[in-house]
């Protein structure tokens, strides 16, 4: 049975919406509703989702030069940091479908023309800044631990990297640093953009509410983050094409999770 709502202002100092405690059952239900939204309007959703595999393939092609191999993995992994911004259209479609409106792909980007565009831009700026800092950190770590590692192909580069203690140290430290960036980005972006779309909150309050929701439900939100990571990995396997389904489903599911957390 769900507990009474939590007053987020007690956690953040802002006047924010009440936050409910959720369980893993809420996660599975949100995911099921996200899949239902995708099935209901698949044509334009697939059109929107094409952005993701195209972007991923472009990243891979940009890194075919051996000099770019050290940043290929950070680029692909860091793409998840800006995922909430890329999912904005899916939030809007679910919001309109919830109200009984026939949402189109043009309307999915209508929020970018509305009064909330400034708040959306500020949240996006924070997430893109984290993405840029992550890339800089990854490059600095490579220069510190394994600057001499090089190869003609990416598989050969990975083999050479893992053949040295310094390479393994880079992998361990890099994953730890990446986890910190991911935790910050997830806390800020998990529910902030849906809140802005739904209630017109400012960027600061929306991000504070998202952080408060994660703090109020640490284990459940950690499971949600793990589910996102796992599904994105599965979708990425067949040359990133699976992301055309996985990412829109996750975008819609995030909207429904927002509803369950903040009403």
Q: How many domains does the chain have?
A: 1
What integer pLDDT is reported at residue 9 of this predicted model?
Answer: 46
pLDDT at position 58 over 70: no
175 within domain boundaries: yes
155 within domain boundaries: yes
3 within domain boundaries: no
Mean pLDDT of 96-124: 82
Which tokens is 243 given?
């992301």
pLDDT at position 118 over 60: yes
Q: Which residues lie below 8 Å from residue 56, measured CB to CB, with a gap of 6+?
A: 76, 79, 236, 240, 243
What integer pLDDT is reported at residue 12 of this predicted model?
Answer: 43
Q: Which domain holds residue 242?
A: 22-262
What is the Cα–Cα distance from 104 to 123, expressed in whole angstroms? 24
1 within domain boundaries: no
What integer pLDDT is reported at residue 11 of this predicted model?
Answer: 44
Tally the residues of the chain: 263
pLDDT at position 205 over 80: yes
128 within domain boundaries: yes
Which tokens is 220 given?
């459940």
Phi first, then psi, for residue 6 (nearest 5°) are -100, 135
What confidence tier does 22 reach under pLDDT thresholds 50, 70, 90?
very high
Q: Which residues lie below 8 Å from residue 54, measured CB to CB, with a gap of 6+?
A: none
2 within domain boundaries: no
16 within domain boundaries: no
pLDDT at position 77 over 60: yes
Q: Where are the beta strands (DSSP E) in the chain?
A: 6-7, 18-19
> pTM (2 decimals)?
0.83
What integer pLDDT is reported at residue 114 of this predicted model?
Answer: 77
Mean pLDDT of 40-56: 66
More confident residue, 95 or 62: 95
Sign of CA pseudo-dihedral 86, 45, 238, 54:
negative
Lowest mean pLDDT among 8-12, 44-48, 113-117: 8-12
209 within domain boundaries: yes
More confident residue, 180 or 114: 180
What integer pLDDT is reported at residue 74 of this predicted model?
Answer: 84
Q: What angle do CA 84, 88, 89 make, to 5 degrees?
A: 145
Number of alpha helices (DSSP H) and beta strands (DSSP E) in the chain: 15, 2
pLDDT at position 260 over 90: yes
């Amino acid at each position: 049975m769900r507990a009474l709502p939590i007053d987020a202002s007690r956690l953040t100092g802002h006047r924010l919406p009440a936050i409910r405690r959720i369980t893993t059952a809420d996660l599975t239900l949100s995911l099921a509703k996200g899949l239902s939204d995708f099935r209901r309007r698949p044509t334009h959703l697939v059109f929107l989702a094409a952005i993701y595999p195209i972007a991923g393939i472009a990243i891979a092609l940009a890194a075919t030069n051996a000099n770019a191999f050290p940043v290929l993995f950070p680029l692909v992994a860091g793409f998840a940091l800006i995922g909430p911004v890329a999912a904005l259209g899916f939030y809007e479609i679910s919001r309109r479908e919830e109200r009984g409106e026939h949402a189109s792909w043009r309307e999915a980007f209508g929020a970018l023309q509305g009064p909330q565009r400034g708040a959306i831009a500020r949240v996006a700026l924070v997430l893109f800044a984290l993405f840029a800092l992550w890339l800089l950190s990854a490059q600095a770590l490579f220069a510190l631990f394994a600057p001499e590692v090089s190869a003609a192909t990416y598989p050969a580069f990975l083999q050479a990297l893992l053949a040295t203690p310094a390479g393994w140290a880079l992998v361990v430290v890099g994953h730890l640093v990446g986890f910190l960036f991911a935790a910050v980005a997830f806390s800020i972006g998990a529910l902030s953009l849906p809140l802005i779309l739904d209630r017109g909150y400012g960027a600061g309050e929306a991000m504070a509410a998202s952080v408060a929701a994660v703090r109020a439900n640490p284990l459940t939100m950690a499971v949600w983050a793990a589910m996102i990571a796992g599904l994105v990995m599965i979708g990425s396997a067949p040359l990133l094409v699976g992301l055309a389904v996985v990412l829109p489903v996750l975008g819609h599911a995030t909207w429904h999770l927002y509803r369950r957390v903040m009403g």
